[in-house]
Amino acid sequence: MFIETPKDGYWLKEASIKKVEDLRNAKYMGYWCTKRLDGKSWNESPVDVFYQYNPDIEAGHSNYFGIFLQNDSVYITDAKSCFSEPIVGSICEDGEVIVSRYRHDYVAKKGAMIDGGRDYTRTNMCKTAKVIVDGDKFVIEANVVE
């Protein structure tokens, strides 16, 4: 089983993602929602998330940073909360696991569908999987989520 990382981000196009990867020795992980400041709920809008192999830990940086745009400015944020909890995915007929990345992100593909982002899960009764992130890799545990 596998998760397809989109070529274009939510905020950045493929060419800009490549520039960030090269500049920061990072790997693009897709676009995901971060947790709100309360630590309990998820933000409505995702950030483009990168895994940085050698962050400046002494400066308080984590391996995950996110990029988003607001009012014509580019912002960088800590994105470790994006993967602080498992992600529910729907398993397609060919083994691809599709995920809903934010609240109103309805995804349908190859006999499966999922909606709700990290706030709730709605599927078409297809098989589901639990997805966790280990470093720069997605680890999929099939048939764990009912």
Q: What is the mean pLDDT of each run of 10 residues along the chain (146 residues)?
A: 95 98 97 93 96 94 96 96 95 94 94 94 92 96 63
pTM assigned to the model:
0.92
Look up tokens 């745009």; give the residue: 69
Residue 119 lies in a domain: yes
Say what the pLDDT of residue 143 is: 64
- 106 and 47 co-located in one domain: no
Amino acid (one-letter) located at 30:
G
Residue 1 lies in a domain: no
Residues of the domain holding 112: 87-142
Number of domains in the chain: 2
Rounded to whole angstroms, the Cα distance separating 83 from 120 reads 16
Say what the pLDDT of residue 125 is: 87
